[in-house]
Amino acid sequence: MSEQKLPLKISDLLSMTFPQNSFWIEPAILPKGGTLLFGGAAKTGKSFIMLELARALSTGTRPFSSSIFSVPGKAKVLVIEQELGERESQSRYSNLLKNTRPSAYNDYLYNLSKVPSMQLNSNEGLKYLYDAIDHVQPNVVILDPISMFHGFDENSNTEIGDLFKRLEKIKGAFSHLSLSLILSHHFKKPSVGPYKT
């Protein structure tokens, strides 16, 4: 049985010190050991954003050449995507990395495409993800889009709660990597016509 946490006095909380450089993306965008959920409607560029974050993390450079966001140090990244496939992924990475030397990301950026059996609501699917993480030993895993990695009912708080508990267990199993997750999510298509919901 795990040790039970007890409430802290606010004065004790305020006196605590935390390690510097505890984020993969600054300012406080992606905490080490955290989860970042990024969503949007279909065809709004979520996969492009995910790949740009992967590029920035794996090369230790600013995402989108931003003066606001930064990556304090290189992180090993595993992108697992369910929609593009290897041919389209190759095309996108080729374009995204055309001005970057392969030595900058060679040992830091990995891709796994179209793995329909990686369903996090099944033991086999969880094992597939664990094995992929164990093989690469990444600091950040990108799941794009999260809806294609599970068969849970997205309208059920209980079932989505179970999904996020499973994701927390995965991060806990690889806490020595300060493993963080980035999830992309498709929003429901907006209704059109006079009877919008």
- At 162 the pLDDT is 93
- At 177 the pLDDT is 97
- Residue 64: other Cβ atoms inside 10 A: 12
Tokens 């406080």 correspond to: 28
Residue 24 three-state SS: strand
The structure's pTM equals 0.86
Q: At residue 59, what are phi and psi to the nearest 5 degrees?
A: -110, -5
- At 8 the pLDDT is 87
- At 43 the pLDDT is 74
What are the mean pLDDT values of the chain's consecutive 10-residue runs (197 residues total)?
81 82 92 91 81 95 93 96 92 92 92 94 95 98 93 89 95 96 79 56
| Element containing residue 25 per DSSP (H, E) | strand 23-25
- Residue 85: other Cβ atoms inside 10 A: 11
